[in-house]
Amino acid sequence: MCGIVGYVGRKDIDSVLLVGLERLEYRGYDSAGIASILDGELLVRKRRGKLRVLDESLRLNPLGGTIGIGHTRWATHGDPNEQNAHPHVDCNCAIAVVHNGIIENYAEVRSRLQKEGHVFSSETDTEVLPHLIEKHFNGDLRQAVVSALKEVEGAYAIAVIAESSPDTIVVARHGSPLVIALGKGENFIASDVPAILPHTKNVIYLKDGQVASLTRDSVRIWSPDGQEVSPEVKRIEWEADLLDKAGYDYYMLKEIHEQPAIMESVLSRRLSPSGDVNFENIGLTKQEFVNLGRIIIQACGTSWHAGLIGKLLFEELLRLHTEADISSEFRYRNPVAGGDTLIMAISQSGETADTLESIRIAKSKFLKVLSICNVMGSSIARESDGVIYIHAGPEIGVASTKAFTAQLLAMALLTLYLGGIKWTINDELRKEMIEELRAIPQKMRTILARADEIEALAEKYASVQNSLFLGRGYNYPVALEGALKLKEISYIHATGYPAGEFKHGPIALVDKDTPTVAVAPQGPVYRKMVSNICEVRARKGKVLAVATEGDDEIKGCADDVIYVPPCCDRFSPLLTVIPLQLFAYYVAVKRGCDVDKPRNLAKSVTVE
């Protein structure tokens, strides 16, 4: 939520900041703004709406300078208008701040500052920061930032520039991500790696409580106790060309189509030719895994849906008691968890505030934490005992697609790994599972080759107002995921249910205008799904079924069918979710929605 960037070097500030902000626009697109220092004067430009509005204004009338900061906003406090857009400035317009996070005690700080004579011009929580820095400024910008931050509570990643220090950017973080990128004669800061990837691959992940100061030739970092520390420089694996749309209209469509290649590359990276599973930094010893009695999965949104499937895998194949818990709920109760419990955090971004807090709670109870993340060096990855990277590459579309299937694959491989340690998977089953997994990429390609059929169906259903999604067993979470995809990008109301629960209330919603999407591949619950489909049809409801190739019977009871290749029940979600991703995508396009930037959403939910 909200993206911040900063640059100090020799290049033209307008274009460097705009390129960075464009890469971060998925974090919020209510407004955008930049500030720079030119000839000792602080200049600010901000605009309501998407980045292109700011871009147009800067093209007509550039700001100029070679040092600056920028922001793309997902509004929390105050309307998404120009006044509330970042950067925010102090009374003299000599200090500018961009901020990602929430200052929780801003109302109290603001009224104190107002009594001291500070004049505010926005409704935001952020604006207290430039005024506090102004108040504490005594010739040293970093010291003023440190003193200001002592007066605020909440989460932040901030970047500050000031007329008094025209060569320096000061940054600080507590709870929100911030990465410093090292160039030659230039340095960058950003909320997330994609913003700096076109420039350099050498980065420093600022840790919570640290403050840093950047000039074009130096980066200095101080720990929370004020000691200067030597930075740990990491190298990013992602290639910059992964950030292009590669000819697709939207990132979401590109990311859907990337799934077979991701499966292939992860399988060849993690699975040896003889079928051994390899994880680099799993964080627990084999003995600790043997002693494991319970897993609590922590996740939100799509990652939680993946977690629900992980629960089924771990229970079926490892006979391990597993819960998949929504982090925003887990963190506010006093969960019961003993020493044999593993907390497994699933997060694409690795920065989701609730998931991060849930692992902090777990660690405070001395529980081991294993995370499944996409973004390298993200907070959740760093704070966990072990991490399994899903290697899906940057996911830019706000609606998560390839991360979901890559999370499922990571858990399938973990199941194989643990099945070997815990002796719950015999050789025959192991061989069968590996064969099934190795066949997945090709089967995914078969589904993607039917995109035109799915597009035609999307046309047929695009004008509905409400919809229902049903599934059972391994495909119940797929029904939840299909409903989430549709509602978040097309704004059609969609609700997913376990099909057996349908008769306990939701069936009342069925009518001729409310279609049901039924995820019904061959498997142990297939017959039950067919009965549920018949019940919907008997009430004049239209049914779009996702079924297994060769299933002619379903044609007789559903209005429309999308076929997926045959697959074992436990890995079928890797296939059945793809038609639902494509269906949501095409429906949203037909409805004229901005697929990659759905209203009210941001990709990385770094506030509660």
- Active site amino acids: 2, 603
Q: Please report how close the Cβ of residue 149 comes to ligand F6R at its closest, in angstroms.
A: 26
| 303 binds ligand F6R per the rule CB under 6 A | yes
Instruction: Write down the H helix ranges in 198-293.
Output: 251-257, 259-270, 286-291
Question: Would you say 160 and 145 are in contact if contact means Cβ atoms under 8 Å apart?
Answer: yes
Q: Please report how close the Cβ of residue 122 comes to ligand F6R at its closest, in angstroms.
A: 27
| 488 binds ligand F6R per the rule CB under 6 A | yes
Question: Which of residues 13, 141, 300, 558 is near ligand F6R by CB under 6 A?
Answer: 300
Instruction: Please report the sign of the dihedral spanned by the C-alpha atoms of residue 511, residue 515, residue 519, residue 521.
Output: positive
Q: Please report how close the Cβ of residue 209 comes to ligand F6R at its closest, in angstroms.
A: 22
Which DSSP state fits 294?
A: E
Q: Please report how close the Cβ of residue 173 comes to ligand F6R at its closest, in angstroms.
A: 18
| 243 binds ligand F6R per the rule CB under 6 A | no
- CA–CA gap between residue 251 and residue 245 (Å, rounded): 6
Nearest to ligand F6R of 210, 581 (CB atom): 581
Which among 333, 258, 341 is positioned nearest to 297, based on CA atoms? 341
| 213 binds ligand F6R per the rule CB under 6 A | no
Provide the b/e sequence for 227-249 (b: ≥16 CB within 10 Å): eeeebeeeebebeeeebeeeeee
Size of the site for ligand F6R (CB under 6 A): 15
Question: Which of residues 302, 467, 475, 581 is near ligand F6R by CB under 6 A?
Answer: 302
Q: Which amino acid is at 402?
A: K
Q: Please report how close the Cβ of residue 399 comes to ligand F6R at its closest, in angstroms.
A: 4
Question: Would you say 102 and 77 are in contact if contact means Cβ atoms under 8 Å apart?
Answer: yes
Can you give 497-543 as a three-state secondary structure string? EEHHHHHHCHHHHCCCCCCEEEECCCCCCHHHHHHHHHHHHHCCCCE
Nearest to ligand F6R of 347, 415 (CB atom): 347
- CA–CA gap between residue 486 and residue 13 (Å, rounded): 39
Query: What does the block give as tokens for 105?
Result: 């005690």
- Enumerate the β-bridge partners of residue 321: 294
Stretch touching ligand F6R by CB under 6 A, among 22-30, 151-159, 296-304, 529-537: 296-304
Instruction: Write down the H helix ranges in 346-388.
Output: 353-364, 379-383
Q: Please report how close the Cβ of residue 444 comes to ligand F6R at its closest, in angstroms.
A: 19
Please state, as a whole number, how many other Cβ atoms lie within 10 Å of the Cβ of residue 513: 13
| 194 binds ligand F6R per the rule CB under 6 A | no
| 575 binds ligand F6R per the rule CB under 6 A | no
Q: Please report how close the Cβ of residue 490 comes to ligand F6R at its closest, in angstroms.
A: 12
Under 8 Å CB-to-CB from 307, ≥6 apart: which residues? 297, 298, 299, 324, 325, 344, 346
Q: Please report how close the Cβ of residue 352 comes to ligand F6R at its closest, in angstroms.
A: 3
- CA–CA gap between residue 533 and residue 520 (Å, rounded): 9
Which DSSP state fits 281?
A: B
Which among 464, 574, 466, 585 is positioned nearest to 519, based on CA atoms? 574
Nearest to ligand F6R of 525, 605 (CB atom): 605
Question: Which of residues 20, 301, 482, 496 is near ligand F6R by CB under 6 A?
Answer: 301
Stretch touching ligand F6R by CB under 6 A, among 212-220, 269-277, 295-303, 557-565: 295-303
Stretch touching ligand F6R by CB under 6 A, among 109-117, 245-253, 297-305, 563-571: 297-305
- CA–CA gap between residue 497 and residue 493 (Å, rounded): 13
Question: Would you say 571 and 436 are in contact if contact means Cβ atoms under 8 Å apart?
Answer: yes
Q: Please report how close the Cβ of residue 602 comes to ligand F6R at its closest, in angstroms.
A: 9
Nearest to ligand F6R of 371, 514 (CB atom): 371
Nearest to ligand F6R of 213, 355 (CB atom): 355
- What mask of x and - would describe binding to ligand F6R in positions 383 to 402, judged by CB under 6 A? ----------------xx--
Instruction: Please report the sign of the dihedral spanned by the C-alpha atoms of residue 81, residue 88, residue 53, residue 73.
Output: negative
- CA–CA gap between residue 24 and residue 491 (Å, rounded): 23
Number of residue whose CB is nearest ligand F6R: 301
Q: Please report how close the Cβ of residue 389 comes to ligand F6R at its closest, in angstroms.
A: 13
Which among 278, 190, 182 is positioned nearest to 235, based on CA atoms? 182
- Which 318-357 positions form the footprint of ligand F6R (CB under 6 A)? 347-349, 352, 355
| 605 binds ligand F6R per the rule CB under 6 A | yes
- Which 103-162 positions form the footprint of ligand F6R (CB under 6 A)? none
Q: Which of helix, strand or coil describes residue 458?
A: helix
Write out the residues near ligand F6R by the rule CB under 6 A: 300-303, 347-349, 352, 355, 399-400, 484, 488, 604-605
